[in-house]
Amino acid sequence: MLAQFADIAKTLGNPQRLALLEQLSQGEMAVERLAELAQLSVANASQHLQTLKSGGFVTARRQGKQMLYRLGAGPLTEVLAALRNYAEFQRRALQQTLALDFQSLKLEAITVAELRRRMAEQSITLVDVRSEAEFAPAHIPGSVNIPIAKLQSRMRKLPKTDIVAYCRDPYCISSTQAVELLVSHGYQAQRLVGGVPEWEQAGMVSEKGGA
């Protein structure tokens, strides 16, 4: 039984397959439409659908030249709802943990709007603690890329005050760890609530390329 559970989890442990199942929970669809909604190529969508079909998660029928898919038998909509609920529970738990960390360490987080104001009024050292691969496609203008794993060895090159660290989103733990590390070594540092997506959502343009 546990081996069967593991096989089910392995099949579902793919965000693209979950995206396809989410779309099929709305009803039967052609593979071309599924690929479009899930932002996949038709070939990639077909490959994932075959895996789901082998596991009994979807069924298929041909209608003319189209291959139509629908959810398989069983409480699959309940399974998808349970996964969504658990993911939301984990997100809230992480958010609460971050809030407690900041409270216990007396750390403050700033918003994108506050960052923009401070960047216009004073010199800010903006540290992007994501990996180099994440930094290159897009980052906040003027930021320096120091992945969290390299921060300890490179922090001596940073000024002691007015440091703001950011990561990939409001719930990324790396920026919290960066601020904690910097503060413990006598630096004045704050965490940005969010990252490049929040910066762009505020109507600002991100930069591309290396540090």
Of the pLDDT bands very low, low, confident and very high (cuts 50, 70, 90), residue 38 is: confident
Q: Stretch 184-193: mean pLDDT, rounded?
A: 92
CB atoms inside a 10 Å sphere around CB 32: 13
pLDDT for residue 57 is more than 90: yes
CA 195 to mean position of chain CA atoms: 11
Cβ pair 195, 110 in contact under 8 A: no
> Which entry of 167, 179, 193, 196 is annotated as an active-site residue?
167
**Among the listed ranges 88-92, 111-115, 185-189, 201-205, which one has the minimum average pLDDT value?**
88-92
- How much is the mean pLDDT over the chain? 88
Q: Stretch 162-167: mean pLDDT, rounded?
A: 94
So what's the pLDDT on residue 95?
A: 67
For residues 144 and 32, give the distance between their C-alpha atoms in angstroms, rounded to a whole number.
42
120-133 per-position pLDDT tens digit? 888 899 999 999 98
3-class secondary-structure state, position 75: coil
Threshold 0.85, pTM exceeds = no
Residue 172: active-site member:
no
Strand partners, 30: 68
Q: Which residues of 129-210 form beta strands (DSSP E)?
A: 144-145, 163-166, 189-192
pLDDT for residue 211 is more than 70: no
pLDDT for residue 170 is more than 90: no
